[in-house]
Amino acid sequence: MALPKPKRQDLSIIMVGDFNPKIFHPSWFASEGLIKESESEDAEIEIIRPEIAIFSLDWLKLSITRDRFAAETNKEPYFEVMRDLVVGSFRILSHTPIKMLGINLKKHYTLPEKSWHHFGNTLAPKDIWDGLLVKPGLETLTLRSERQDNYKGYVRVTAGPEDAEGQLYVNINDHFTVVEDPSDNVLGSTKIVDILESEWGTSMARSNTIIDHLMERAS
DSSP 71-106: EEE--GGGHHHHHHHHHHHHHHTTTS-EEEEEEEEE
Residues lower than pLDDT 50 in the chain: none
Domain-by-domain residue ranges, the chain? 103-218
pTM of the model: 0.93
Under DSSP, is residue 67 helix (H, G, I), strand (E, B) or coil?
Answer: coil
pLDDT for the residue numbered 165: 82
The pLDDT score that the predictor gives to residue 91 is: 98
**CA–CA distance, 7 with 108 (Å, rounded to integer):** 6
Model pLDDT, residue 164? 78
